[in-house]
A and B are shown apart, each in its own frame.
Chain A
Amino acid sequence: MLIQAVNLQKVYQMGPVRVEALKDASFQIEEGEFVAIIGPSGSGKSTLMHILGCLDQPTAGRYFLEGQDVSAVSDDKLAEIRNKKIGFVFQQFNLLPKATILQNVCVPLIYGGIRGRRRQLKLAEQALEMVGLGNRVHHRPNEISGGQKQRVAIARALINNPSLILADEPTGNLDTKTGKEIMNIFRQLNKEGHTIIMVTHDQEIADQARRVIQIRDGLVQKDEVIA
C-alpha cells in the first residue's frame, strides 16, 4: 500500500475564526493507481493535496506514505521525503524563471545529493526526453510555451524517480488541446507504472483518471473506480 490516510483533519486558526479546511478524510491508494481528487474551490482538496505532498501536516489523524507515518516528522525530514518520494506538477508550473530548462530539471538532484555535474545533466536530459522535450533545454522558462513549461515541470517531477506524482490542476493554465497532450503524458506515465494523484475541479479532466475521490466541505463524499 502506497498511501494510507486515516481521519485526516486540518484546522486553521485565523485570528478568532477557526476554519476546518479538512474535517475527516480517510482512504487508501495502491501503487500504480491514477487517482483524481475532485471538488469545488473551498472543498478542502488543496489542503488535502498539501498534506499528501508533505508540504503541510495534519492537525489530527495519521498519514502513512509507504508504510511510514509522516504526520509528525520534522520539517527537514519532510523536505527529504518530498525530494525522494514525491514529484510535484503545479498549475502555475512553478519553474525557476532565472534558470534554464536543464537547470530547472536538475534542482531536485542537487537537494537530493546526487553528485557530479555530468551525471546530473545526463539524468535531466533523459527526463526531458521522456516528456518529448529533447531540444530547447538551454532556454529559459519565459522563452517556451505553457505546454512546454508543464512538460519541463513533469520532467522535473520524474527526475528523482518518485513513488508518487502529485499534480495540482496541471491543465488549469493550458488551452484544451495542450491540456489533452499533458493528460496523455500522465496516462502514459501511469501505464509505465507511475502512481499519479491529480487534484482538479474539472470533471472532464477527472474522468480521465481511473479512480475519482470527491471532496466536499472537508469530507470524502464519493470514492469510485472508473472503468
Chain B
Amino acid sequence: MIWEILRMAVDSLTVNKLRSFLSMLGIIIGVGAVIAIVSVGSGAQSQVTSQISQLGSNLITISPGIRRGRSGRISFTATDVFTMELAEQIQRNCPSVGLIMPNLQTSGLLIAGSTNYQTQVVGVTPAYQQIYDFYPARGQFITEEHETSATNVMVLGSGLAQELFPDTDPLGKTVKLFVRNRHLLFVVVGVMEEKGTGAWGNIENQAFIPASVLMKKINNRKYVNGYTAQAVSATAAKAAVGEIEYFLTRYMGDPEKFRVTSQEQLLETISQVTGTLSLMLGGIAGISLLVGGIGIMNIMLVSVTERTREIGIRKALGAKSRHIMAQFIIEALAMSGLGGLIGIGLGWLGAAGVAKIGGWPLVVTHGSVLVAFSFSLLVGLFFGIYPARKASKLDPVIALSYE
C-alpha cells in the first residue's frame, strides 16, 4: 500500500516537473546554503588554526595593556617597563617559561649593490630559532656574542636573499640598511630556511639583526614592544601564563599595564568567532528553508484544489481519509526530500569551489548533511500536514461534482 502511494506521489510530481522544481527551489537553496556555509566556516577555521599552530607551539605573547583613553578613544599605553632585563627576570621567576625573547621590529630599506628592498627588520636573540621553530638554512643565526657586543650582522629570509642577491652568494656580503635617515652597514651571516606564508604576513622576506643593535643603534631606547615566551611544554602553557601574570602584577603593581595571551587562547577566540559566524549564517540559511517550506505548502494547497475531483474519485473508489492524507504528505515529503538531496549536492559543489579558491581543505561533515536533510524533511512534513488534512476532509459528493 505504502509503495502504491509512494509511486502515485512520484507520478504526480513528474507530471508537473517545472512546478515541482520551482516549489522545491526554496528547499534546494536553503539546504545548499546551510551545507556550503557550515563547510566554508569549518574549512576556514581549520586553515586559520593550522596557520597559527604553524607559527610555533605553546607561544605566549606579553604585550602592553589596553587602556581606555579619554573621550572614548582606545589607546595603547606605552609601557616603559618592558626592558631586556625584565625578560631575564621573567625567565628566572617563572619556572614554566622555557624561553623568552623581546618583540622588536622596524621597517627599513635594504640596499645591496644596485638593488634595494623595503622590508621588515626584526630584532632577535638566539632564542628566536627555537621559539618560532625557524632555523637558518645556510650560515648561522644571530649568536649570543653578536647580541652582547651589538655586532652589525644580519640574517636574511630566503625570499629576501633572492631579492637582494639573485645571482650571487649573499654570505659575507655587505648590506646597507637605511632607516630613520641613518645608514648602517651589516654583514650577512646567514640565510633562513623556507617556511611558507604564515598567518602574519610573509616571514620569508624579513631581515633579522641582533636585538641590541636595533635598540641601541636604531631606536635609541632601552624599551621593547613586548615579549614572546615559550612554555617548557604544551601542557605547561597555562601554568606559564599564570606565573607571568602573577610576577608582572607584583612587579608593576597594576594588572592593566600588560596583557598575557597564549596561543591556545588565541585559537579558542578564533574558533569561537568563526563558530558564531557559521551559526549566524546557518541561521539565515535556515530561514530560507522555512520560506521553502511555505512555498511547498502553497503549491500543495493549489494542488489540493486542482485535484479536488481526483480526491472525490479516489474516495468514491474506497480511499479512506488516511489514504488521501498519506498521499499528500508523501508528496510533500518527496518534494522536500528531493529538494534536500539536490541542495546537498549543490551545497557540496559550492563548498568545494570556495575551498579551492580559499586554498583550505573541503570539510563537509556527516552531521551537517544529516541535519540539513532531516530539517528539510521536517519542513516538508510540517507544511504538508495542513494541505493533506484539507484534502482528506473533503466531502466525496462535493468533490465529485467539482469542475
Taking a contact as CB atoms closer than 8 A, the residue among A55, A110, A111 that contacts B400 in the complex is: A55
Residues of A within 8 A of B319 (CB): 79, 111
Query: In the complex, which residue of chain B has the Cβ closest to the Cβ of A108?
Result: B317
Q: Size band of the B side of the interface?
A: 20 to 34
**A82 and B318 contacting across the interface, CB-CB below 8 Å:** yes
**A96 and B318 contacting across the interface, CB-CB below 8 Å:** no
* B396 contacts the other chain (CB 8 A): yes
Query: In the complex, which residue of chain A has the Cβ closest to the Cβ of B396?
Result: A55
> Interface segment, B118-126, B255-263, B306-314, B366-374?
B306-314
CA distance A96 to B323 in the complex (A): 16
**A94 and B316 contacting across the interface, CB-CB below 8 Å:** yes
Given A56-B397, A94-B400, A112-B309 contact (CB < 8 Å) = no
Query: In the complex, which residue of chain B has the Cβ closest to the Cβ of A81?
Result: B318
Taking a contact as CB atoms closer than 8 A, the residue among B1, B15, B317, B320 that contacts A88 in the complex is: B317
* B163 contacts the other chain (CB 8 A): no
* A67 contacts the other chain (CB 8 A): no
* A16 contacts the other chain (CB 8 A): no
Residues of A within 8 A of B15 (CB): 98
**B309 and A79 contacting across the interface, CB-CB below 8 Å:** no
* B269 contacts the other chain (CB 8 A): no
* B278 contacts the other chain (CB 8 A): no
- What distance in Å separates the Cβ of A5 from its nearest Cβ neighbour in chain B? 18
**A94 and B309 contacting across the interface, CB-CB below 8 Å:** yes
Residues of A within 8 A of B146 (CB): none
Residues of B within 8 A of A56 (CB): 396-397
Taking a contact as CB atoms closer than 8 A, the residue among B11, B318, B396 that contacts A84 in the complex is: B318
* A15 contacts the other chain (CB 8 A): no
Query: In the complex, which residue of chain A has the Cβ closest to the Cβ of B323?
Result: A111
CA distance A54 to B396 in the complex (A): 10
**A55 and B321 contacting across the interface, CB-CB below 8 Å:** no
B380-403 CB mask vs A (1 if < 8 Å, else 0) is 000000000000000011001000
**B317 and A55 contacting across the interface, CB-CB below 8 Å:** no
Residues of B within 8 A of A84 (CB): 318
CA distance A160 to B317 in the complex (A): 10
**A75 and B321 contacting across the interface, CB-CB below 8 Å:** yes
- What distance in Å separates the Cβ of A151 from its nearest Cβ neighbour in chain B? 17
Taking a contact as CB atoms closer than 8 A, the residue among A50, A76, A82 that contacts B321 in the complex is: A76
Q: Which of A35-91 contact B (CB under 8 A)?
A: 50, 53, 55-56, 75-76, 79-80, 82-84, 88, 90
Given A50-B397, A98-B15, A111-B310 contact (CB < 8 Å) = no
- What distance in Å separates the Cβ of B303 from its nearest Cβ neighbour in chain A? 12
Most buried by B among A56, A79, A88: A79
- What distance in Å separates the Cβ of A89 from its nearest Cβ neighbour in chain B? 11
A9-46 CB mask vs B (1 if < 8 Å, else 0) is 00000000000000000000000000000000000000
Q: Please list 22 pairs of residues, one from A and one from B, whose beta carbons are closer than 8 Å in the complex, sorted by A's number.
A: A53-B316, A55-B315, A56-B396, A76-B321, A79-B319, A82-B315, A83-B318, A84-B318, A90-B400, A94-B309, A94-B313, A96-B310, A98-B11, A98-B12, A99-B11, A107-B314, A108-B317, A110-B1, A110-B4, A111-B317, A113-B1, A156-B317
Interface residues of A (CB under 8 A from B): 50, 53, 55-56, 75-76, 79-80, 82-84, 88, 90, 94-96, 98-99, 107-108, 110-113, 115, 156, 160
Q: A-B pairs with the 6 shortest C-beta distances? A: A83-B318, A111-B318, A76-B320, A79-B320, A110-B4, A108-B317
